[in-house]
Structure 1
Amino acid sequence: MAVSKLSNGKWQAQIFPNGRDGKRIRRQFATKGEALAYEKHTKDQAQDKPWLGEKADKRTVFDLVKTWYNAHGTTLADGQKRKDAMEFACKAMGNPLATEFNARIFSAYREQRLAGKITRSSRVKKVTPRTVNLELAYFRAVFNELRRLDEWQAPNPLDNVREYKIAESEMAYLTDEEIRALLKECEASTSKDLLSVVKLCLATGARWGEAETLKGNQIRAGKVIFTKTKGKKNRAIPISDALLEVLPTSRKAKPLFTSCYSAFRSALKRADIETPAGQLTHVLRHTFASHFMMNGGNILVLQRILGHTDIKVTMRYSHFAPDHLFEAVNLNPLERLSGEKIGSKVAAEDVTT
């Protein structure tokens, strides 16, 4: 719809009540006010005809992704990453209309992803089930959020799609001997900040990024305050006086450390420590949590220290507790019958006599 002034001095209202593909209405008026009033009247009339039904929704799936990103995704730390992943998936699926998108279309797409027929990089031929599970979660979240925002009225088309079951990944942690070897190599490193960052991770369970980007004003009253965390909540973790003494003394709102990721990789190699894929720096966080539980720590306290929003994530470390499932030793049938010397030579002799 538009109102414009003509060369004859009159004002023209050009209106498409049913969209660009529908009928066009043009009327001329002596004044701009009359033209605007007519435009509004025609627009209101077109909207107040429920018997005509709703106009067909011609938005594509990626149109919805962009709407989600502008309204919500831009606030997420990984929002751009999600948007990029879904844009790639939409193109691979032929960018279907949102009203035609369904479980069958997505299922066919992820089968091809797993088979290596659809790739985002020439270096990666096949993806893991975890990758397609993440993509499924991204699309589900888009439709759920748009329903909350009244941008999508129909049910979530992927509600009934099940994730692939994935075996629990190995969580490596360092032994006392490995910790000593690593600290020794960190101390010998050319990076002046490496030792402090590693000690901070081992003492607080911090993620590498949280420790490496720490600012001076985040150390107060014997505590380290981690901000802008993955869980969106600040964490204040007490540290010892000994650790406090080796940290930089600046209390200004400026980073305390320079990047030392590469130096850490080299230190691990020199210490002859191997970590599972994807757990290079995260092994320090796993080490803190594992030793915390082995030393008798409380699982709920660990959840708060690590900043997990879901206790099920923290429960991965529960088996490190000294008494975890210890009843298996005392309450199994073999232990109960051991006093009877079942199956032993002595028991056989007793029967003979």
Structure 2
Amino acid sequence: MAIAKTSTGEWLCDFRLDGRDSRRIRKKFLTKGEAIAFEQYHRDEAKKKPWLGEKEDKRRLSELIDLWHRLHGQSLSASKYRLSKLNIVCRGLNDPIASRLTAKDWAHYRDQRLNGKIDNGYHSNPLKWIAQPITVNREQQYLEAVFNELRRLGEWTLPNPLDGIRIFKEKEKEMSWLTDSQIIQLLNACKKYNNEHLTRIVKICLATGARWSEAERLTRSQLSPYKLTFTRTKGGRNRTVPIPRWLYNELAPLQGTLSKPCYQDFVKMLALTDIELATGQKTHVLRHTFASHFMINGGNIIVLQRILGHANIRETMRYAHFAPDHLEEAAELNPVANLVSTR
């Protein structure tokens, strides 16, 4: 049956786009002409977009996320974090049939996230469910990546439902870094806190620009004369960074793991100082401090990229303004540079 009159006098349009196993479409109309036009429209659309005529994919979003994780996601360095984020998104969208997910669904989801109406899975206090634009941007990118990767693997044939949705514009984060006097204050506070592991990790981060987690899990085998090799990095690539002779001499007698985890000790020790950091920054200030002083002292931005392990130079460029000659021509080439004051 394609179009038939019902007992109520309405016209029922009931058809499949391409045979018995293809998608079925049913809708009632007041007139036969409307029913005919409706059927013709959908058949024309199916010719332009062949996937519309395929049998409907009824897998739920949670199934696709699980499939993506098994086939690809588990190989990522931050696989657990990425999976937890995707599960938050899935719950927030009420685990829809993935093929029916639309841009409109996503727009309403992120509106709810920004207004704290969706449980983020980390806090029991709803006031802490409020997400920032950068958060929903990352969630959008993570979900887009799921569909893109499954498409590459031949597990998804439909279009990516998030294609064409623009992310929110993000404000550049304020970046804290320590001055020479603050570095001395920090090292003195470490000594007073009397935790040799804390002091050691702080020194390593300041001397190499390493992330706290990279320094925290260093072992003796990663130390060679005047160099440290960081493995299991965020970017997935090992990198070797030269270190001062005095630091090598401090680390050389140690065996096994060079330090014990002490992130919370750093937070407590920092509270004993008068050092104020930008919101959301704690141990990462050590990495920023290394990079800032490296550029202030005339370091090369490309060399800094390699030391920090940035995959993209754009990440490193945020430190470029610390270079002594950064934009200094502005003082000489501006239109009033050579005017003599008449006062």
TM-score category by the smaller chain? 0.7 to 0.9
Q: Secondary structure at the match of 1:119?
A: coil
Does residue 175 of the first structure (1) align with residue 179 of the second (2)? yes
1:185–1:270 Cα contact (<8 Å) kept = yes
Cα distance in 1 for partners of 2:71, 2:158 equals 19
1:212 aligns with: 216
Cα distance in 2 for partners of 1:284, 1:100 equals 46
Q: Secondary structure at the match of 1:237?
A: strand
Does residue 114 of the first structure (1) align with residue 118 of the second (2)? no
Cα deviations across residues 22-47 of structure 1 (Å, max 9, x unaligned)? xxxxxxxxxxxxxxxxxxxxxxxxxx
Matches within 5 A, 1:44-83: 54-83=54-83
1:271 deviates by 2.3
Cα distance in 2 for partners of 1:224, 1:156 equals 43
Cα deviations across residues 305-336 of structure 1 (Å, max 9, x unaligned)? 00000100000100111111111100111113
1:65–1:86 Cα contact (<8 Å) kept = yes
Cα distance in 1 for partners of 2:181, 2:217 equals 28
Q: Which amino acid aligns with 2:75?
A: T
Does residue 284 of the first structure (1) align with residue 286 of the second (2)? yes
Cα distance in 2 for partners of 1:86, 1:287 equals 33
Matches within 5 A, 1:172-211: 172-211=176-215
Q: Secondary structure at the match of 1:225?
A: strand
Cα distance in 1 for partners of 2:56, 2:164 equals 25
1:122 deviates by 2.9
1:54 deviates by 4.5
1:62–1:87 Cα contact (<8 Å) kept = yes
Does residue 317 of the first structure (1) align with residue 307 of the second (2)? no
Cα distance in 2 for partners of 1:161, 1:174 equals 39
Cα distance in 2 for partners of 1:88, 1:261 equals 26
Runs of 4+ aligned residues of structure 1 deviating over 6 Å after TM superposition are none
Cα distance in 2 for partners of 1:199, 1:192 equals 11
Does residue 300 of the first structure (1) align with residue 302 of the second (2)? yes
Question: TM-score, normalised to structure 1's length?
Answer: 0.78
Q: Secondary structure at the match of 2:253?
A: coil
1:186–1:194 Cα contact (<8 Å) kept = yes
2:89 aligns with: 89
Cα distance in 1 for partners of 2:135, 2:55 equals 36
1:228–1:234 Cα contact (<8 Å) kept = yes
Cα distance in 2 for partners of 1:271, 1:245 equals 28
1:266 deviates by 2.6
Q: Secondary structure at the match of 1:333?
A: coil
Q: Secondary structure at the match of 1:188?
A: helix
CA RMSD of aligned residues (A): 1.6
Q: For the structure 1 residues 267 and 92, does the alpha-carbon distance in structure 2 shift closer, same or farther, using more than 3 Å as the test?
A: closer
Q: Secondary structure at the match of 2:337?
A: helix
Cα deviations across residues 199-227 of structure 1 (Å, max 9, x unaligned)? 11000000001111110100013210000
Q: Secondary structure at the match of 1:58?
A: coil
What runs of 5+ residues in structure 2 fail to find an aligned partner? 1-19, 22-52
Matches within 5 A, 1:248-263: 248-250=252-254, 254-263=256-265
Q: Which amino acid aligns with 1:243?
A: L
Does residue 223 of the first structure (1) align with residue 227 of the second (2)? yes
2:77–2:236 Cα contact (<8 Å) kept = no
Q: Which amino acid aligns with 1:256?
A: L
Identity rate, percent: 48
1:146–1:152 Cα contact (<8 Å) kept = yes
Cα distance in 2 for partners of 1:86, 1:212 equals 28
Cα distance in 1 for partners of 2:209, 2:157 equals 43
1:88 deviates by 2.5
Cα distance in 2 for partners of 1:180, 1:283 equals 14
1:188 deviates by 2.2
Cα deviations across residues 45-88 of structure 1 (Å, max 9, x unaligned)? xxxxxxxx743311112211111000011111222222222222
Larger radius of gyration: 1
Cα distance in 2 for partners of 1:299, 1:190 equals 36
Cα distance in 1 for partners of 2:95, 2:248 equals 54
Cα deviations across residues 149-182 of structure 1 (Å, max 9, x unaligned)? 0111122111211111111001100000000111
1:267 aligns with: 269
1:223–1:238 Cα contact (<8 Å) kept = yes
Cα distance in 1 for partners of 2:288, 2:85 equals 28
Q: For the structure 1 residues 90 and 260, does the alpha-carbon distance in structure 2 shift closer, same or farther, using more than 3 Å as the test?
A: closer
1:248–1:256 Cα contact (<8 Å) kept = no
Q: Which amino acid aligns with 1:267?
A: M
Q: Which amino acid aligns with 1:288?
A: F
Matched positions, count: 289
Cα distance in 2 for partners of 1:91, 1:193 equals 41
What runs of 5+ residues in structure 1 fail to find an aligned partner? 1-17, 20-52, 346-353
Q: Which amino acid aligns with 2:266?
A: F
2:225–2:248 Cα contact (<8 Å) kept = no
